Structure 1
Amino acid sequence: MLKWHDHYYVGESVRDESAVREKLDAGKPVPGIYLVTFSDNPHNILEIIPAVTLFQKTAARLCPEIVGMAKGMDEAMELVQMIVQTVYEETGDVLVEKYLKNR
């Protein structure tokens, strides 16, 4: 089972996000969807991963908490930018994980 943040962000181009989430939770591939996750690498703030990689059970088990869903890499990058900018504007810092977990 994937770990989803309670208030994850969804890109404007994602149609029927609950259906997409159900497919991902069921281990079905969803082409064109990218997920924004917390990063396991301490040098990164967030990661963008193609949802089709979660079709592999090992990748799904290792997937960090999902904080965003977008259609296409460009929208995923815009989503990351928006998340980081929001956190910076509200806190004056870029501690995204701390901010999102405490909201």
Structure 2
Amino acid sequence: MLKWQEDYYVGEGIKDAEKTKKRIDAGKVALGVYLVTLSENPGNLLEIIPSYMLIQKSYYAKCPEIIGMAKSKDEATDLAVDIVKNIYGETGAFQVKEYFKNR
């Protein structure tokens, strides 16, 4: 099973977030859905991945924690920007992983 942040962010284009989440968890294709995840690379804050990548079992198994879901790549980019702005506004820092660990 994938790791989802308890109160993950959802873009406006997602009509039924819970249904979409279940579909992705089941390893089915959710066309046009992009996920915002914590980055495994210490040089990056977040990553945006197309949900169809998760039908590959190897990628599914190593997917980082999901903190957001959006209907398009543009919406996912906007969502990632909003997440970072919110964190910076609350903490005054760009410590995204630490923010979600302590949330």
**TM-score, structure 1 normalization:** 0.98
Letter in 2 for 1:13: G
Cα offset for 1:100?
1.7
SS class of match (1:15): coil
Residue aligning to 2:97 = 97
Alignment of 1:55 with 2:55, yes or no, is yes
Cα offset for 1:11?
0.4
| Cα separation, 1, equivalents of 2:83 and 2:43 | 17
Cα offset for 1:101?
1.9
What are the within-5 Å matches in structure 2 for residues 1-103 of structure 1?
1-103=1-103
Identity %: 52
| Cα separation, 2, equivalents of 1:71 and 1:56 | 20
**TM-score, structure 2 normalization:** 0.98
> Tell me, which stretches of 5 or more residues in structure 2 are unaligned?
none
Runs of 4+ displaced beyond 6 Å: none
Tell me the matched-pair count: 103
Superposed CA RMSD in Å reads: 0.6
> Tell me, which stretches of 5 or more residues in structure 1 are unaligned?
none
